[in-house]
Structures are given as structure tokens and as C-alpha cells.
Structure 1
Amino acid sequence: MLKALVIGSSGGIGRALEARLRADPRFGTVVTLSRSEQGLDICDETSVAEAAHRLQIEYDAFDLIINATGALVINDSLPEKTIKTLSVDAMMAQFRVNAIGPALLLKHFQSLMPREMRSVFASLSARLGSIGDNRLGGWISYRAAKAAQNQIVKTAALEIARTHPEAVVVTLHPGTVMTRLSQPYLKVHQAVTPDHAALRVLDVIANLRPSHSGGFFSYSGQPIDW
């Protein structure tokens, strides 16, 4: 039986991913981590390292690790419409949550991936983190932090492949999901329910192979420009 770990399980898409995985007969173990439920702070390295250590003792390794953490509005700072409204504090907060947090997870949780078997570390990013697909501008801090996450995952994937040849390490764009994070923007962007987003994400993951490691993929399974 397969083992899965969902990080950020208290969020809308995290809860939906957990529910989908628990309903999948292939997964005999589904473990969750979040700030509100287990006290995990992805921006604090001690918290991340201790969580990884506990899980390794109890579960040894996971076939699937999904990072569903992330934030758009932090400390009431809305996305910038122009660089003229850029705030250093708001930008630093975006990088802590959307780039440094995933980097710390990769640093400490790669030890939970089996070395000789297929395993997946999938981190939820956003199409807005694509430099090549940026045609509207704005949202500078969020875009930059997600682009940084994509680079972090790409770089980590190359390193992890040297010791875990069957590993798949990717970033995924789940689409616009009907969650508290996206609520103010649903009138502009077509959105799907968390359950539908979770279904699409897991379908993409199921079809990924080691040759896809280091990639950035949409919920449709198509690669997204860096």
C-alpha cells in the first residue's frame, strides 16, 4: 500500500487532496501536516526539521509528498497593481511563505523519499509565477516568489535525481480554486471547487515519470513556460 503526505492540509485544496487520497484504495496511509493542526511553521527551519525527523521515525518514507501551502494575501497586503506600490515588508513576506518555505521542505523532506522506488514531491505553485507567460504585469511580489519557488524546485530536482533516480520533483499549477485565498478574484477568473482541483492535480501526478522531474505543469498536464 502506498503512503502519502499532504503538507498544508488545513487549506481548501489541502483538505480536498487529503479526502481524495483517503478515498483512493491504493493509499493505505495518508498523513497530514499544517500550522493549525500540528503546529508546522514552514518558514521556521527548526519546525520543519523536527517534523521531518518525527515522520521518518514513524513512517520511514512516503510515495507521495504534496506541498499545498501558499499565500496570496499576507498581513492584509493585497497584490500590487503597479511597482509604484511595492512594499519591502510585503515582498519579504511573500518570499518567506511561497519560496523559502518550499525550499526548507525540500531540504528536510527529501529524506522521506525512497531511494530506489518511484516517489513524487509535488509543490503547488501558480501560473502567475511563469515569466514567459506574464502578459499583464502587476502582482510583482507574488509572481516573483512563485517564480523563485519554481527555480528552487527545478534546482532541487536535479540534485535529488542523483541519489533518487526514480523520483519526480515538480511544481504544479492547480488553476484558480474556490478558496479563501482566491475569493476576491473569482469574478475575474474562472474557478473550480477544491475537490475538482484536487482530482485534476492527482491525475497529473499519476502520469508523471522521472523524465518529468524538474518540470512545471498545469492541471491539464501540459508544461508551463518558465
Structure 2
Amino acid sequence: MFDTDYKALVIGATGAIGGAFVAAFQSDSHCTHVELVSRSLSPGFDLLNAASIEAQAEVCRASGPYRIIIDATGALTIGGVGPEKSLASLREEVLMENFHINAVAPVLVLRHFAPLLAPGPAVYAKLSARVGSISDNTKGGWYGYRAAKAALNMLLQTAAIELQRKNAELRVVALQPGTVRSNLSKAFASSAPHLLEPAESVAGMLTALTMLTPKSGAHYVDYQGESIAW
């Protein structure tokens, strides 16, 4: 990732993609430390509990500062309910939880973990999705997930503008990992034209991150390094 020694932090470190990020950092000789955060490794950490997010950030502060933070959390199936295909299938409680997990929680994570970033060249990357692109939506469906990811993208863009006033070299990135073999995509993988292994997706995303130049606002890119229209 960087030409000099650095520290990395991965949130959602035991998921398929998060685990692949951890392995990639551990194999990089310039990475001197990888901090792991997940529900299974971090007692009390809960994305649906704002106080626990703040408390976990304080725990991680001791091992920082970090040159790169990856938030690999997210959910596609909510309460046993998959993406909605029609207006008739919408349920208020599922929509609200979708927004909480995929938009509200991530921006609270960003709020409390961004202060742990090192000054100078740094990256804060959050897994997003191509379906969060409003301009790319030509098929419809997936109401809650699409809307939550679109909201996430706006929150990342807004936060990037603010954070870059203090550090113009910070890249805030919405990452599209492709369709990856994981528990999240298991029910929908059969329709994917190309199913990626986690390590393949992460290798592509890390290469994409190294190619990004500082700019005002957030980047929105896929695992091949291609920009996605908001």
C-alpha cells in the first residue's frame, strides 16, 4: 500500500472480505501492525450500538495512528429477509434496519475512527456497492439495500469534504468489491456472471487504492479501479 512502514486497521476483520484484507496487510513487509475489529474478536462491539463503536475506537487508539482503515462491514439479508423485488414486499422495520446497518452505523464508525488516521497520505475505505449508484440503476428492485448504499455514499462524500479540510492528502473511498464468494452473497451468487474469491477482490481493491490521487470529496471505485458514477 505504501512505500514506508504503516499500520492498518480492519473493521469486520473476520468476514470473507475483511479476512482477505487482513491477510493482504499481514503479507506486506511495510505493514508493521494490523488491528482487527469484529463482533467475534472485540467484546462488546456492536454496529447497532453507537456507544460500543465509540468505545472500540478508544481501544484501537492505543495501537495507532493508522495509515489505512478498512470498514468491511455490511449486510444484504436483514432479519432473514433478502433484497425486496417489489414495492409490495417492502416492510418498514426491514428498511429501517437496512439503513441502520448499511448507512447509519458506517458513518458513526467513520466519525469515531477517522481521528485515528495518521496525518499525511492516508486512506479510509468503506465497502459500498454498485447498486448504490443512482445513475446506474436501470433494473430496479433491491429497494432497501440500494437506498442504504446510496445514503452511505452521500455520507462518505460529505465526510470526505470535511475531513480533507484538515488533511488534504486523505482519500475517503467507497469501494465496490464485485460479487465475492461469501455468506453475504451466497443466496445470489448463482446469477453472478463472475464470482470472485475474496483474495482476488481484495487484491484488486488494494491496487485501485494505490492508484487514487487526492481530490476534493470521496472516490467511488470498483475492484478493477474503474470509477463508478454516483
State TM-score, norm by structure 2. 0.94
1:83 to 87, 99, 104: 87
Letter in 1 for 2:153: N
Letter in 2 for 1:51: Q
Unaligned runs of 5+ in 2: none
- Equivalent residue for 1:70? 74
- Equivalent residue for 2:172? 169
Q: Distance in 1 between matches of 2:36 and 2:59?
A: 13
Give the match's secondary structure for 1:37: coil
Q: CA deviation at 1:209?
A: 2.1
After superposition, where does 1:195-214 map in structure 2 within 5 Å? 195-211=199-215, 213-214=217-218
- Equivalent residue for 1:222? 226
Q: Distance in 1 between matches of 2:160 and 2:11?
A: 19
**Matched pairs, number:** 224
Unaligned runs of 5+ in 1: none
Indicate conservation of the 8 Å contact 1:114/1:164, yes or no.
no
- Structure number with the higher helix fraction is 1
2:56 to 51, 56, 71: 51
Q: Distance in 1 between matches of 2:146 and 2:94?
A: 13
Matched, 1:148 2:151: yes
Give the match's secondary structure for 1:162: coil
Give the match's secondary structure for 1:181: coil
Matched-pair identity in %: 38
Letter in 2 for 1:12: A
State TM-score, norm by structure 1. 0.96
Q: Distance in 1 between matches of 2:104 and 2:142?
A: 18
Q: CA deviation at 1:81?
A: 0.6
Q: CA deviation at 1:114?
A: 2.1
User: Stretches of 4+ moved more than 4 A in 1?
Assistant: none
Q: Which moved more, 1:215-224 or 1:4-13?
A: 215-224
1:97 to 93, 101, 118: 101
For the aligned residues, what is the CA RMSD? 1.1
